Amino acid sequence: MTVLIDDTGFLIADPTRWIDPEARIDLASDTDPAQLKSLLIGKELVRIAFPSFADGRGFTLARIIRQQGYKGWLRAQGHVIADQYAMARRSGFDDVEIDDDLAARQPENQWLARADWRAHDYQSRMRGLAA
Amino acid sequence: MYRYTDFDAAFVAERNTQFRAQVERRIDGSLTEDEFKPLRLMNGLYLQLHAYMLRVAIPYGTLNSAQMRQLAYIAERWDKGYGHFTTRQNIQFNWPTLRDVPDMLDALAEVQMHAIQTSGNTIRNVTADHFAGAAADEIADPRPVAELIRQWSTDHPEFQFLPRKFKIAVTGSPNDRAVTKAHDIGLRMVRNEAGEPGFEVIVGGGLGRTPMIGKIVRDFLPESDLLPYLEAVVSVWNLLGRRDNKYKSRIKITVHEHGIDDIRARVEERFALLRSAFTGVDQQLYAQIKSDFEPPAFNNRDVAPFDQAYANDPVFRSWADTNLSAHRAPGHAIAQISLKAHGATPGDASADQMRVMADLAERYGHDELRISHEQNVVLPHVHKADLPAIHAALKAVDLATANIGKISDIIACPGMDYCALATARSIPIAQEIATRFDQLKLEHEVGDLKIKISGCINACGHHHVGHIGILGLDRAGVENYQITLGGDHTENAAVGQRTGPGFSADEIVPAIERIVDTYLSERDSADEPFIDTFRRVGMTPFKTALYGESEKKQKAA
């Protein structure tokens, strides 16, 4: 089983549970960025895989997807550690999905410690976005 | 000099709090060793051969006296009383314990310093010309640009888990002292035909096991487009760079495999997509940063004390001839302090030496110091009248070696004395070469000659771009040193060519001596430096000197 995490901590219910199966897509971390636009047509939930926490491609894919105007739900799924929560949110993800083992090893308080991801963000500062 | 804003200070404090918690979470098992590793690396903490090593950033090589004194304090409080200045304008402490590191980081924050992104698969500490803001040949000061890039790259959410490390260097002078062509991105500050400021952007340079000279990806990038363009380059590489083989993951390989035209097209496309994310606020920040780098108020005093010492004191004269460079302000000079005393470890400075350098900067040098990529310290703004006093103070702590740019001013990586990757020793070879040529009293006769030594194929000692490069390898358990000749680290960047079979640790110093003897007999006059002679006469006479006639004939047969 997996655990969903957002700024409020570990979630009890999946906020995307109403989304139609056909409006969901899972993307591998090596997805060709040139294909993103066509892959996402009609999608409302995009899950990007993190096969390893050291594979940072998902952050750039998320950023591109948002820059292309996608307004739906964006989820980082797999081996994402609490220390990467702010990076995921800043890159455009709405929440993170991890497995139970990782959630047991890195309990909710370690994720909540990074929930204030808008603070101390150089990128918002450089882009003139309110911190 | 740049002064932290409240934002910078709060950021560093928060980051240190996070790292302190990460150390605790490693100890309680929340983080596995695999997970902790990149987190400690992006905070500058390596695990070396014998101990942890903390690499502290000296952004674009600039620091003030209070910062230098704090480095001295850290060296004494938590290390063995010295520090090691590196080729990327960092300082390394070789003996901290893990538990002490959070306190060391807090001590750095007290003087607006940090160790963020000095390691790991991140955008590393940005380097710049160590003569910035002082050099007579400069067209624009690269430090505000480097500071802007530091802020943009710090904790950039997309770029903390890149395929590999990523290094950026900036120069504002046509004489490239920042080795921009051997960086993942090199930026040369230029002006277009309309006189507007911008950058020539070079991508895909690097040393390591596959040395590459960088290629121009954009010949003129307007100043205001810098951050979105950099972001486009790193973003393209983050997805395209290879993650299956760490020796093929640097952007130089990506550029080599896909071709510069393909990379350029991808970058331009990404740039068009993300440019609108930058609204111009970055340019307002840039303007504020620039105002922190206003030149100091130079005074116009009589230089008679300098002339007098120069005429009467041959030791001072030799130091002045070798260690001073032209400053843009009349009556001033750029003074280099050699950390290459003959027989000492290149780049090392003791806490006492750091304090003396701090005092001199405060008293005579507008409170500024620089670290060069050649592992020396620079007093960028000194009045010539003060140089005799400065020289005397340096002499008292063994810092007055007159060898900048000479054969004993050797770049050497830490090698097998410290490094877990090294296959051979570097420091002792550098020490032996320096000591030998000092004994021969040939150093000043030989003139400008760059020797660079790496203790493994990763080339931290820049051997590929040394006039004489030495690469230490392990051949069946025995150290073996390969020699390359003709490398160049300047705007004429070139990778050196191998002479032939390598030499044992016992043979390497005599081999270097034979190369130098060959240069002295081949040069057309004392004014022709080694690199020019090599370019004129080629490899053959040096090969003959190293391996004899028989080798040459065998090859010809």
Q: Verify whether the Cβ–Cβ distance B239 to A61 is below 8 Å.
A: yes
> CA of A48 to nearest chain B CA: how many angstroms apart?
13
Is B7 in the A-facing interface, judged by CB distances under 8 Å? yes
The C-alpha atoms of residue A61 and residue A67 are separated, in whole angstroms, by 10
Q: Verify whether the Cβ–Cβ distance B280 to A113 is below 8 Å.
A: no
Is B162 in the A-facing interface, judged by CB distances under 8 Å? yes
Yes or no: say if B68 and B354 are a contact pair by the CB < 8 Å rule. Answer: yes
| pLDDT higher than 50, residue A84 | yes
Contacts of B332 (CB under 8 A, 6+ apart): B134, B298, B381, B382, B383, B384
A interface test, pick of B23, B41, B239 with most A CB neighbours within 10 Å: B239
The C-alpha atoms of residue B401 and residue B261 are separated, in whole angstroms, by 47
pLDDT at A129: 82
CB-closest option in A56, A123, A128 to B238:
A56
> CA of B532 to nearest chain A CA: how many angstroms apart?
46
pLDDT at B50: 81
Is B235 in the A-facing interface, judged by CB distances under 8 Å? yes
Tell me what the pLDDT averaged over chain A comes to. Answer: 96
Q: Verify whether the Cβ–Cβ distance A86 to B30 is below 8 Å.
A: no
Q: Which residues of chain B have pLDDT under 50?
A: 557
3-state secondary structure of A12: coil
What interhelical angle do B65-78 and B351-364 show, nearest 10?
170
pTM of the model: 0.95
CB-closest option in B11, B22, B285 to A83:
B22
| DSSP assignment letter at B421 | S
DSSP B100-162: GHHHHHHHHHTTT---TTSSSSSBPPPEE-TTTTTBTT-SS-SHHHHHHHHHHHTT-TTSSS-
> CA of B122 to nearest chain A CA: how many angstroms apart?
10
> CA of A14 to nearest chain B CA: how many angstroms apart?
25
Contacts of B147 (CB under 8 A, 6+ apart): B2, B59, B60, B289, B292
The C-alpha atoms of residue B44 and residue B55 are separated, in whole angstroms, by 5
> What is the pairing mode between strands B90-93 and B332-337?
unpaired
> CA of B158 to nearest chain A CA: how many angstroms apart?
5
Looking at this predicted complex, what is its ipTM?
0.97
Which domains are delineated in chain B? Answer: 1-116 (3.30.70), 304-396 (3.90.480.20), 411-556 (3.30.413.10)
Q: Verify whether the Cβ–Cβ distance B282 to A56 is below 8 Å.
A: no
Q: Verify whether the Cβ–Cβ distance B158 to A59 is below 8 Å.
A: yes
Sign of CA dihedral A51, A56, A61, A63: positive
pLDDT at B557: 46
Element (H, E) at B16: helix B6-27
Which domains are delineated in chain A? Answer: 2-8+22-127 (3.20.20.70)
Is B14 in the A-facing interface, judged by CB distances under 8 Å? yes
pLDDT at B551: 53
Q: Verify whether the Cβ–Cβ distance B38 to A54 is below 8 Å.
A: yes
The C-alpha atoms of residue B504 and residue B509 are separated, in whole angstroms, by 9
